Chains A and B, each alone.
Chain A
Amino acid sequence: MANVKLTIDGKTVEAPANTLLIEAARRAGIEIPAFCYYEGLALQAACRMCLVEVEKAPKLMTACTLPVAEGMVVRTNTPQVAQARKSMLEFVLTNHPLDCPVCDKGGECELQDMVFRYGAGESRFLEVKQHVDEREWSPVVFYDRPRCILCFRCVRICAEGMGVAALGVVNRGASSEIAPNRGDHLECDECGMCIDICPVGALTSGTYRYRTRPWEMQHVGTICTHCADGCKTTLGIRNNRIHRGNNRDRSGVNGEFLCIKGRYAGDFAHHEERLLTPLVRSQDGFKPVSWAEAIKTVAGRFAEIRQRGGKFGVIGSNHTTNEENYYLQKLARTGLGTNNIDHHRTGDVLSLLRARVPLATTADLYHSKAVLIVGVDLAQQHSFLAYQIRANWRHHQARVYTVRRGPVREDKIAARIVSVEPGGELAGVETLRDDLAKEPELVILFGDAIQGEAVARLTEFGSSLGIPVKYVCLVDYSNSRGAVEMGVLPAEGGMTLPEMMAAGDLDALWVVGANPLRRHALAGKPFLVVQDLFLTETAQAADVVLPAASAYEKSGTVTNVCGEVQRLQKAFETPGTKTDLEIFGLIAREMGLDLKQLGPWTPSAVFAEIARTVPGYDLPVEVLEAGGAVQAGPSDGLPDAVWAPVQSAGDTLFTSGTLGRYSKMLNAVREAPGELYRA
């Protein structure tokens, strides 16, 4: 669209025609205050904070609804505008309690900031304030009506952003209030988007409320350790405890998006069943031992088995870092001399990489003109990806196609919906051929319904459309993609995970951050070493259990479902635990392995080696260190890796594999475990 020139406070500003005045001003460095205006959400013109003078207009105009026009002359700094802002704040404060000293939002409240900048120093309101008691809508969401300024951000983010519409407005006039969808409580994603977007302390979270002050915490931006979408979450840490997660600085690929897991399910790290000391099996069960003794026990047995040419099996993790995954497979192959290494595969990344087709980024989901979702309930299982697509539909009118077994939330925004029986996904996709071929471009997302040969057939279909097509292979956990690319896969005749579990002749099985006994029986009696946060089913069967640090307690990188590599930042420590990388290093040293050849076990040193040796991972470290995300480049398709069937863990919004079992918040919400609940 053509640019227009206008004048704001005497400054000539150029902006595309139809830009809202408030945005044009912001881009020119002129702040026009607003509560209800929120970029990307429907316009309200309700708070009246953005009133400005526009030449030739008979009265003040709301900058949030006024498109810029050629020759427009705007003033935002006149006594009249200042007086209008002051009076709006005076009005809004009449019924707003001045309980800032005990309000969670104190110190980061937009109303406080506005009054500080534009408000009056004293109150002329002598009447009685309206009071309504605070209400608990769910373990996550609490609503305090008197603090609410009715900006309707929460209503809009829930309806427009999440596609849930669990919040509404009831009553009228000064009695108006926000209401939950089930009368006195909420049934929703429990994502907390409404809480974080609230400019004041009207919506507070069960996790954070009345716990601490914002300025008492350290704020550490790291990557959520639950699903594979790779959302940045900024953890608020005080006294080695997570008090909240949010992403108000919009620093990650996810902007301000987070689901319940990213915001509130970090509490697993503080669960009382967290392993804090190594355990060695004795006749009377587990015996707590020192780290030195535990490492000695493991290294001793490993060295002995290695020496006699015994058989090892190694099961890696979907949650550990790229550095840990890389180091583990290297240690297994060179140190233990085995190719029996695998992880729980939740999506057929391997086949997609082998197809050598373009891969979509999370940003592509927001920009692509068309999106095809095959065989997955995206809103449930990849909440952020679904959010991106929904935003794309709202902001760019993207056309969305769904091929699925039952109703999914994306149906509401779909241009076409294809219902299929299990196994009919590819045939379903084929029925969309004519529509898809007319699209200028396409991103295809697929889950475990498409695997092996079907992946090749899907990519052949995509290539035959004659338009640019990018792909996303959906995987479940925070670093499933990294586990594949770092080579936590059997090669050259190595055993796959199910094969290892069934072999019966393993001398040692080393399980890192995984719980295979949940899905598979273990044949034979190998020496079982488990590194984990909790005494999982697998850990309970172990000979040695080593308490591992969680993703929030370590540094390193992870690769999300779209192949975007991001850095974890260590947010706090849980005394007694060690990172998996450190544990690997200690075992290797104790075994007397060639440490020069293995390399130092620090994340940065390992990443440097990854950059040299793993195709596509020669990434700009400075971008990663600054908190950015970089999509790993084209990979060689891991020609040596052994293909195996994949199976999604089938997690919902309220489950997260083993980790989820230890999140009290995930289990406390009434929607849990979420039979793929539908909002």
Chain B
Amino acid sequence: MTFSPELEAKFEKLLKSYPPGRQRSAVVPMLLYAQDELGSVTGELVEEVARRTGITPLEVNEVVSYYSMLSRQPRGKYHIQICTNISCLLTGGEELWEHACRKLGIGNKEVTPDGQFSLEEVECIGACSWAPALQVNYEFHHHMTPEKLDRLIDNLRKAV
């Protein structure tokens, strides 16, 4: 399986970050970085990561299915993750979530038909003092309101 030169370089660095014989340590980072490039954790990726780290595909699958950021299902180009945990809940996170569902016409872990947006209701993302918060891919957006969310989505649409 071939990846971009950047990702290959990243893998090489990762596999060197752990002591000899401990390359299994790179499994989670490899999967996440590869997912960023491929859009999801494919079966082929599982086999490839297993091969490169010297473990079985089953062992990789055990890991993939455990971590909530790893997904076997393809996501949108913009994966919008809205926190509704306690601090965000207290400051309107739930309304924000419902607004996003209505705005995009999709539900949790669903993708818009054009493949541009996906939505996920997530647990605490570490932005409690600046709630409610969300992430688009890895980018934080603090102090969100339904209006700010509208503008954010509209701008992303334009960028598409």
Contacts and interface: CB of A to CB of B under 8 A. Distances in A.
Contacts of B59: 168
B56 A170 contact: no
B65 A181 contact: no
Interface string A167-182: 1111110000001110
A181 B66 contact: no
Contacts of A172: 65-66
Interface in A150-170: 165-170
B39 interface: no
B58 A171 contact: no
A166 B43 CA distance: 17
B61 A168 contact: yes
A168 B66 contact: no
Nearest to A166: B58
Contacts of B65: 170-172
A159 to B, nearest CB: 10
A346 B122 CA distance: 64
A183 B59 CA distance: 11
A166 B57 CA distance: 10
Nearest to B43: A183
A179 B61 CA distance: 9
Interface size class of A (residues with CB under 8 A): 10 to 19
A42 to B, nearest CB: 16
B62 A181 contact: no
B136 to A, nearest CB: 25
A171 B56 contact: no
A179 B57 contact: no
A409 to B, nearest CB: 14
Nearest to B60: A168
A532 B124 CA distance: 71
Interface in B47-62: 56-59, 61-62
A171 B63 CA distance: 8
A180 B66 CA distance: 16
Contacts of A165: 56, 58
Contacts of B58: 165-168, 179-181
Nearest to B46: A183
Nearest to A175: B65
Interface in A357-393: none
Contacts of A169: 62
B67 to A, nearest CB: 8
Interface string A476-503: 0000000000000000000000000000
A169 B65 CA distance: 9
B53 to A, nearest CB: 15
Contacts of A170: 61-62, 65-66
Interface string B104-119: 0000000000000000
7 tightest A-B CB contacts, nearest first: A170-B65, A181-B58, A168-B62, A168-B58, A171-B65, A172-B66, A170-B62
22 contacts: A165-B56, A165-B58, A166-B58, A167-B58, A168-B58, A168-B59, A168-B61, A168-B62, A169-B62, A170-B61, A170-B62, A170-B65, A171-B65, A171-B66, A172-B66, A179-B58, A179-B61, A179-B62, A180-B58, A181-B57, A181-B58, A183-B43
Given A172-B66, A181-B57, 9 more contacts: A169-B62, A170-B61, A170-B66, A179-B58, A179-B61, A179-B62, A181-B56, A183-B43, A183-B61
